[in-house]
Structure 1
Amino acid sequence: MFLRFPIVPSQPGQGWLARLAQRQLTNSPAQCAGHNKWSKIKQKKGANDASKSAAFQRATQDILVAARSGGVDPDKNSVLAAVIKRLKAQDVPKDNITKALSKAAKVKNSGDISTYEAIACNSVGIIIECATDNANRTVQTLREILNSQNARMASVGYMFTRGGVVVVQIENGLDADERLDTLAEMALCEGAEDFEVLSSEGDSQPRLKFYCDPSALSELTSKLTKQSGVTVLESQLDHYPVDKTTLSDEDADVLEQLISALEGRDDVVRVTTSADIP
């Protein structure tokens, strides 16, 4: 609120106090120049840009992990081919994919992809997978993030099992249910140990998630990729909790902040926990 004093002609011989007394105080609303709206737009744009940057960085890490399993040639590495196909569907720029492949070729020979274990909320196991060329730097950074959320490095490997996972999507068609049954039967004969039907938005295109032994991942992915009307959305090695831990709302919030901080680091490829998160 601004105070505006109207100009009052002074009379000869009047002192400044008398002239001030004649002035009337009026209220005038502050004039906004639209800065608040622009500020919100900039904040939203900044958040979107940060989200895009994180997605592109994640794409690089996905390619690094896939290349580790069978080289940087998509024609010879079906896992990598599946990852690239998924990234293109997500509109990741071609230049980003090319740069990631170049980096993967270097990291495959000179860098390390390491797994670190930690515990949070006194009972939640955490597996942190990292792609780095400086293990000492990565460990120090992880410890700082963990300590900030009252978590710490600890051996929790016994809380998880290691396995491969392949997620596929089936094109729409009148025989969708029959296609699901046929595909599941074929996958089980080609190394899949189990599967589940995943719900999708509107259930427009059915999706199946197959689980397999790590040694069977590449072959299973290759077989599924060659199936007509089937798109491989994901193919990777992953950790699965043996038993899931139920958390209070307070601990769930703490864990969410910790995961977000870890995934925000360039070196971190993937974070897996034993928490029962819906």
Structure 2
Amino acid sequence: MAGHSKWANIQHRKGRQDEKRGKIWTRVIREITVAARQGGGDLAMNPRLRLAVEKAKAANMPADTVKKNIDKATGNLEGVNYEEIRYEGYGIGGAAIIVDCMTDNRVRTVAEVRHAFSKYGGNMGTEGSVAFQFKHVGQFVFAPGTSEDKVMEVALEAGADDVVTDDDGAIEVLCAPPGFEAVKAALEAAGLKPDVAEVTMRAENTIALSGGDGQRMQKLLDMIEDLDDVQELYHNAEISE
């Protein structure tokens, strides 16, 4: 199955994340806190917490810091109570945007997100206004040049739903969120290391933006992503330089 060209956008996003390592810790701690509060502190029984702890390890977070935040969430230590909120809206050219936040102050967060949208020509929408354009999936992305046949064989055997070859040669493996860990383990056992491995909201269709529109969209996305309460940012824009 053929797909769109996403590799440049993925590399840009990874570069942005590398620039903001300090904030990565903050986001991971909040994810650990909410996952442990909702599903308990036992990694074996809580897939969401397992994934959050993996992110913590990838960000070189000390094990003591991870444990302390799990203890806070499960009531063993006093901690902050975060709630999860999703905002939806439109960017440049009608591009769809989903903003997932964790906050201890809903009034502050919605004001900051609304300001970011309006500053660069976007619009906040109502709940459900754009979410239908995305699918909740496990996603693995391999760099151009990876063996498509090998990825397909291993992934489909492990229960993946689809393998997509993008226009630029990058390969995406897609699976249902509950199957994420099994597919990940199978790929790694076969020596296949993805550049991206995450449970995400994947756009069903994309909107190409370039020139001034692309620059304005990138400024809008950067401003939203830099907000302290933003955990994840999803959109369907393909921005070309």
Distance in 2 between residues matched to 1:177 and 1:185, nearest whole Å: 12
Residues 181 and 239 from structure 1, CA distance in 2 versus in 1: closer, same or farther, beyond 3 angstroms?
closer
Distance in 1 between residues matched to 2:163 and 2:111, nearest whole Å: 38
1:126 is displaced (CA, Å) by: 0.9
Give the length in aligned residue pairs. 208
Give unpaired runs (5+ residues) of structure 2.
Answer: 1-17
Letter in 1 for 2:173: F
Mapped contact 2:34–2:82 kept (Cα < 8 A): no
Q: Give 1:164's aligned residue.
A: 137
Matching of residue 184 in structure 1 with residue 155 in structure 2 = yes
Aligned-pair Cα RMSD in Å = 3.7
Matching of residue 258 in structure 1 with residue 220 in structure 2 = yes
1:51 is displaced (CA, Å) by: 2.8
1:81 is displaced (CA, Å) by: 1.9
Query: Which protein, 1 or 2, shows the higher relative CO under an 8 Å CA cutoff with sep ≥ 6?
Result: 2
Give unpaired runs (5+ residues) of structure 1.
Answer: 1-48, 170-175, 199-206
Q: How does 1:88-107 map to 2 (within 5 A)?
A: 88-102=57-71, 104-105=73-74
TM-score by length of 1: 0.60
- Alignment match of 1:229 (pick from 180, 185, 189): 189
Describe the superposition over 1:110-156 as per-residue Cα deviations: whole angstroms up to 9, x where unpaired: 54211101112241211101112322221111112222222221243
Distance in 1 between residues matched to 2:158 and 2:132, nearest whole Å: 27
Q: Give 2:12's aligned residue.
A: none
TM-score by length of 2: 0.68
Residues 151 and 179 from structure 1, CA distance in 2 versus in 1: closer, same or farther, beyond 3 angstroms?
closer
Mapped contact 2:101–2:229 kept (Cα < 8 A): yes
Q: How does 1:20-31 map to 2 (within 5 A)?
A: none
- Alignment match of 2:47 (pick from 75, 78, 96): 78
Secondary structure at 2:237 match in 1: coil
Distance in 1 between residues matched to 2:86 and 2:39, nearest whole Å: 19
1:177 is displaced (CA, Å) by: 7.6
Residues 161 and 113 from structure 1, CA distance in 2 versus in 1: closer, same or farther, beyond 3 angstroms?
same
Higher mean displacement: 85-94 or 97-106: 97-106
1:95 is displaced (CA, Å) by: 3.8
Larger Rg belongs to = 1
